[in-house]
Amino acid sequence: MSWTGDDFAHIAVEQARIEEAAARGGSPVLICDTDSFATTVWERRYLGTDSRRAWEGVTDRRALYLLTDHAGVPFVQDGIRDGEHVRAEMTRWFEDALTATGRSWVLLTGPLPDRVDLAVRVVDLALAQRASFGAPL
């Protein structure tokens, strides 16, 4: 398959549209496996650092990114995935991109129960912070 910057821009816009529709469903939490920002990292993977078309579709309303560490998670080839050889590099690229753009993120590591526990705790904390009132004037 041959990708173009326009492909990634389209994916980012469509991802944002679908997320917005899901968010309007009324739940205080929307958890997505990917988003328009992640599309920019994948664009770098496939097209290099010169292509930045996906940034045109990036929406930036996420309270928190939960980044799953590749370490300790068996690789399962489903016929679509790039391969195990890119996992560590992609994790670093996501860490770097999240940090460089000032996004709030947490790296989920360790056994699955530990990852889930940490994810629940940080989402609960984010919800509590958003639901609290400011100090009286």
How many Å apart are CA 86 and CA 38, to the nearest integer? Answer: 15
Identify whether the C-beta of residue 91 lies closer than 8 Å to the C-beta of residue 49.
no
Q: Which residues fall within 8 angstroms of residue 41, CB to CB, at 6 or more apart?
A: 90, 93, 94, 97
At residue 63, the pLDDT reads 78
**What is the token pair recorded at 32?**
């997505």
Q: Which residues fall within 8 angstroms of residue 76, CB to CB, at 6 or more apart?
A: none
**AA letter at 95:** E
Name the pLDDT band for 81 (thresholds 50, 70, 90).
confident
How does strand 105-108 pair with strand 65-68?
parallel
**What is the token pair recorded at 100?**
């460089």
Residue range 79-104: average pLDDT? 91
Name the pLDDT band for 1 (thresholds 50, 70, 90).
confident
Name the pLDDT band for 26 (thresholds 50, 70, 90).
confident
pTM of the prediction?
0.84
